[in-house]
Amino acid sequence: MKLSNNNILTALLGVVLGVLLTMLVVKMLPDRKFDGDYNRWRKLNLILQEVQKHYVDTIDMAAMTDAAVVAALAELDPHSVYLPPVELTESEVELAGNFEGIGITFNVPNDTAIVLNAVPGGPSEKAGLMSGDRIIKVDEKVIAGKKTPQDSMVRLMKGPAGTKVKITVNRDGVLIPFEIVRDKIPMHCVDAAFMIDDATGYIKLSKFSRTTFKEFREASAKLLDAGMSHLIFDLRGNTGGYFDQALMLSNEFLQQGEGIVYMEGRQRPRQDFDADGRGALKDVRLSVLIDESTASSSEIFSGAIQDNDRGTIIGRRSFGKGLVQEPINFTDGSGIRLTVSRFYTPSGRCIQKPYDDDYAYDIYERYAHGEMTSADSMKVDTTKVYYTVKGRPVYGGGGIIPDVFVPMDTTRATKFFVRCSKKATTMRFASDVFDRYKSRLSGISDFEELSRYLESLDLGTQFLEYAEKVDGIKAAKGEWEESRTYMMPQINALVGRYSKLDDEAFYRFYIPIDETIQTALKHEGHLD
């Protein structure tokens, strides 16, 4: 068969285009053997298809697919995860807005829901639920050890504001029932903002949500109007959130051109973020409080302040999560959070801690090795030395290492205090006090008035009577005298939270026994 010149040209053009297309695909995937990787991914589909066709029992293919995805992502870093529709919705709602329910986050590692956090100011925290509680029953339905789906647990606990639910938990082997009135869960991120003295302001930030910068700016403006020249910014327990909010918050304190953070990954070129110099707090002395639960966006902020010698970082080594998570959502409502880059402080420190064998138990390891009580036991990689703008050495190895270490205080925990803590006696007592004095307590909006009122109630005597009558806990001779100075501020704080002052009352009562805040007041934002 004879080909015309046009046919030959068309055929040659097709071959050339095919070669160019193949080269383009290979160029886009430079680190892969294209055919080999394609066949490996195809293998997963083939296996699932064969299971579906030939397995002896009926298959839930949706569950099989989800399990395969979870297993595949488990081979990556600990924070690249698959989120089923319910979990994806929950994670987005937690940062974006309000919802109605009891106000807890939990996970289910071994067929039992374990409370990770009670939302500050929410119904569960006010009732007395604590991190580590194992949820056994919701109303009369046992959910522990019954292979109850997580979305079913969520539906049981959620409900319209004003309705009641009984949550029974196992705490250190003791079953404790809590009656909780569901409510609109407060999703604000500034838990408290007030003046400690004529010059010192205090702001407690619980998360980096969509409203963080707006709330912080409003709170700090009021403190500036009240005469603030030194800010104690409390990021303890703040697990992070939206990256842009951390950038805007850092920008409030830094001069134009000062570095905030940079990110870099295998497929993501380095990207630097610097301050624009338009912040409102550039001249305010700054103390930043951190601990082992301070993570992600909180560490970006802390690292920027430390590397620019802008303030004093006080507390204990932060968590060490410095990963850029890219959301990829699917049409069925599920999604993945995939790590694409790492965060680095301006001096070059990688915030992310190593993925070693003990990664999931890192906090427990810190306790075991004495890091919580001794600065000498702190994990510091001295082979990785970096320098602040003034030449101070700072170290990598994961997390932000504070300028001033404050140990966890374990010396004041008497046997009476420990027994009360195990049964949540103080929190349930606070709820009982509110029930009896709510008509007066709920109307107080002035802290000095609240202090006088609580003192008039002789809560110490009432608490001892309550602990013995309700929980069978009686202080040994001399034990209350030893415990009183530590426990009464906590009792006042828990009761005070039921006033109109809410969390402000809690943190203000707590200040005298908070060693980290006391250290910040001593340093006044200056590095010694």
The reply to whether 456 belongs to the active site is no
* Alpha carbons 290 and 320: distance in angstroms, whole number: 12
The catalytic residue among 183, 191, 274, 307 is 307
Instruction: Write the DSSP string, 358-399.
Output: TGGGHHHHHHHTTTTT-GGGS--EEEEEEE-TT--EEEESSS
Q: Which of 204, 321, 379, 423 is catalytic?
A: 321
296 is known as an active-site residue:
yes
The DSSP line for 66-98 is HHHHHHHHTTS-TT-EEE-HHHHHHHHHHHH--
From 296, 298, 302, 483, active-site residue: 296
| Ranges assigned E (strand) in 100-244 | 100-101, 104-107, 113-118, 134-138, 141-142, 164-171, 174-181, 183-184, 190-195, 200-205, 230-234
Contacts of residue 397, defined as CB under 8 A and 6 or more positions apart, other chains included, come to 353, 354, 379, 380, 381, 384
Virtual torsion, Cα 219, 223, 229, 232, nearest 10 deg: -50
- For residues 8 and 524, what is the distance between their CA atoms, to the nearest angstrom? 82
CA distance 130 to 199: 34
What is the distance between the alpha carbons of residues 50 and 318, in angstroms, rounded to a whole number? 47
Decide if 442 is catalytic: no
Positions marked catalytic: 296, 307, 321
